[in-house]
């Protein structure tokens, strides 16, 4: 084989491992889950068969747990995403000023994103909001009464959202990079026109960073729909399934309740379609509120 042939074949050889991995670990599970969603398929069962749309019909007409889980997930996303975006933008705006020791604070605020929502952090978070936890001790020391965070549906959801909001570091870094790229000449022109800082923030800063807001909004929304640890480890879906997120329901259906892979696959596809429709709607609406420089 001559050098010319080697050069032509080499790129295909280098890319082959990635293609094989993509086909085996991405495409095959994706296609196979779609097939399973139309089957009565339980692990360790010999009576697996095609049942058409029965899983989807049952989900929409005869599964109260799905309904509660669906609305709990929607509520979690609506509460969490704006909270993360507003808080991370606020911190990024402050860290954009030339303050003493600003690099230390930028690092400190990013650390929660490194720690993430792993099991240790989630467990610690759970104990903080226990009836006799640190948060209630602070409240009672200030003269207040103990709050039962996990028995009230709204408060339990709030505890979960606060855990996600605490991991705002990566979103903040992206906002900070966008703020640093806003042309100073625009602020100087605004100052000459007598605009206040507040006015310049909403008339100059926000319109210019709208592409970054769009990116962060889409990414945080997808991450919120994929939340698992807080619901599974902190509240276990209590009280009365009010914090029972769809990902937890899918997991327990597939691996803890009769190993019902077919129904779990149908639940997964509903969640996928929900995320896809919402993301497409956001992108379609972006032409009305996102401003690009070109």
CA dist 190 and 194 (Å) reads 6
Helix and strand element counts for the chain (H, E): 16, 2
Domains of the chain: 64-288 (1.10.3720.10)
Q: Which residues of the chain have pLDDT under 50?
A: none
How far, CA to CA in Å, does 105 sit from each of 30, 96, 99, 126, 236? 42, 11, 10, 26, 34
How buried is 257 (Cβ within 10 angstroms: 0-12 exposed, 13-18 middle, 19+ buried)?
Answer: middle
Q: Which of the 8 DSSP states describes residue 260?
A: B
Give the pLDDT of residue 38.
Answer: 94
Give the pLDDT of residue 294.
Answer: 63
Give the pLDDT of residue 11.
Answer: 86
The tokens of 157 are what? Answer: 């959801």
Give the pLDDT of residue 134.
Answer: 87
Other Cβ atoms less than 10 A from the Cβ of 251: the count is 17
Give the pLDDT of residue 73.
Answer: 94
CA dist 106 and 86 (Å) reads 17
Give the pLDDT of residue 161.
Answer: 87
Per the document, the length of the chain is 294
DSSP E strand boundaries for the chain: 39-40, 49-50
How far, CA to CA in Å, does 58 sit from each of 45, 49, 121, 241, 266? 20, 16, 37, 19, 10
Residue 11's contacts (CB-CB under 8 Å, 6 or more residues apart) are: none
Predicted TM-score (pTM) of the model is: 0.86
Give the pLDDT of residue 31.
Answer: 94
**Residue that the structure tokens 């008339």 belong to:** 203
> Around 51, how many Cα atoms within 13 Å sit in the side-chain half-sphere?
17
Give the pLDDT of residue 164.
Answer: 79
Give the pLDDT of residue 1.
Answer: 57
Give the pLDDT of residue 35.
Answer: 94
Give the pLDDT of residue 80.
Answer: 92
């Amino acid at each position: 084989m001559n050098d010319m042939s080697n050069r032509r074949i080499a790129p295909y050889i280098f890319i082959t491992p990635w293609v094989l991995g993509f086909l085996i670990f991405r495409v095959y599970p994706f296609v196979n889950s779609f097939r399973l969603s139309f089957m009565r398929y339980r692990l360790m069962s010999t009576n697996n068969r095609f049942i058409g749309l029965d899983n989807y019909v049952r989900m929409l007409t005869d599964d109260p747990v799905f309904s509660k889980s669906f609305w709990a997930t929607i509520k979690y996303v609506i509460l969490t995403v704006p909270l993360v975006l507003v808080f991370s933008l606020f911190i990024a705006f402050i860290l954009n000023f030339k303050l003493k020791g600003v690099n230390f604070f930028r690092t400190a605020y990013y650390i929660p994103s490194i720690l993430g929502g792993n099991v240790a952090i989630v467990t610690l978070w759970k104990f903080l909001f226990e009836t006799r936890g640190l948060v209630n001790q602070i409240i009672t020391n200030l003269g207040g009464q103990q709050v039962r965070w996990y028995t009230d549906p709204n408060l339990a959801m709030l505890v979960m959202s606060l855990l996600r909001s605490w991991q705002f570091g990566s979103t903040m870094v992206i906002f900070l990079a966008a703020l640093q790229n806003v042309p100073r000449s625009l602020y100087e022109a605004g100052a000459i026109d007598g605009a206040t800082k507040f006015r310049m923030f909403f008339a100059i800063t926000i319109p210019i960073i709208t592409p970054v807001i769009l990116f962060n909004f889409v990414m945080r929304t997808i991450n919120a729909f994929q939340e698992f640890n807080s619901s599974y480890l902190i509240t276990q879906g209590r009280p009365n399934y009010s914090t029972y997120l769809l990902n937890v329901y899918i997991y327990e259906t597939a691996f803890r309740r009769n190993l019902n892979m077919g129904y779990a696959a149908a639940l997964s596809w509903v969640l996928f379609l929900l995320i896809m429709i919402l993301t497409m709607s956001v992108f379609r609406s972006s032409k009305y509120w996102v401003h690009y420089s070109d």
